[in-house]
Amino acid sequence: MKSFSEIETTSKRASRAAGFSWGISEEIAKSIKLLELFGLPGIKNLSEYLNDENLKKFKNLKQIVKNNKSDKNIFCPINLGVNFLDQVRTLEKFKKCTFEKVGYPLLFLPFLSRASEVVGKKILFKFNDNQFLLNFNMSVFSTKIDDEYPVESKNIEISFRENKDNFSETEWKNLYKLSEETFVEETDSLKQSAAGAGLTDND
Least confident span in 17-21, 71-75, 123-127 = 71-75
What pLDDT does 55 receive?
A: 87
pLDDT at 187 over 70: no
Average pLDDT taken over every residue of the chain: 91
**Contact present, 92 and 119 (Cβ < 8 Å):** yes
What pLDDT does 43 receive?
A: 97
What average pLDDT score do residues 57-79 get? 95
What pLDDT does 135 receive?
A: 96
pLDDT at 202 over 90: no
pLDDT in tens, 30-64: 999 999 999 999 999 999 999 998 888 999 999 99
Which amino acid belongs to residue 137?
N
pLDDT at 176 over 70: yes
What pLDDT does 161 receive?
A: 95
Place 132 in a pLDDT band, splitting at 50, 70 and 90: very high
pLDDT in tens, 164-175: 999 999 999 999
The Cα–Cα gap between 44 and 38 comes to 14
Spatial CA neighbour of 80 closest among 158, 159, 161: 158
pLDDT at 186 over 70: no
Angle at 122 between CA 111 and CA 161, to 5 degrees: 125
pLDDT at 146 over 80: no
Instruction: Provide DSSP, the chain.
Output: ---HHHHHHHHHHHHHHTT--HHHHHHHHHHHHHHHHTTS-HHHHHHHHHT-TTGGGPBP-SS--SEE--SSSPBPHHHHHHHHHHHHHHHGGGSEEEEEEEESGGGGHHHHHHHHHHHTSEEEEEETTEEEEEETTTEEE-S---S---SEEEEEEEEEEPP--SS-HHHHHHHHHHHGGG-----HHHHHHSTTTT-----
The Cα–Cα gap between 13 and 17 comes to 6
Place 191 in a pLDDT band, splitting at 50, 70 and 90: low
Sorted by sequence, the CB contacts under 8 Å of residue 122 that are 6+ apart come out as 116, 133, 134, 135, 136, 160, 161, 163
What pLDDT does 24 receive?
A: 97
**Contact present, 147 and 87 (Cβ < 8 Å):** no
What pLDDT does 54 receive?
A: 86
Place 71 in a pLDDT band, splitting at 50, 70 and 90: confident
The Cα–Cα gap between 29 and 9 comes to 7
The Cα–Cα gap between 94 and 122 comes to 14
pLDDT at 20 over 90: yes
pLDDT at 198 over 90: no
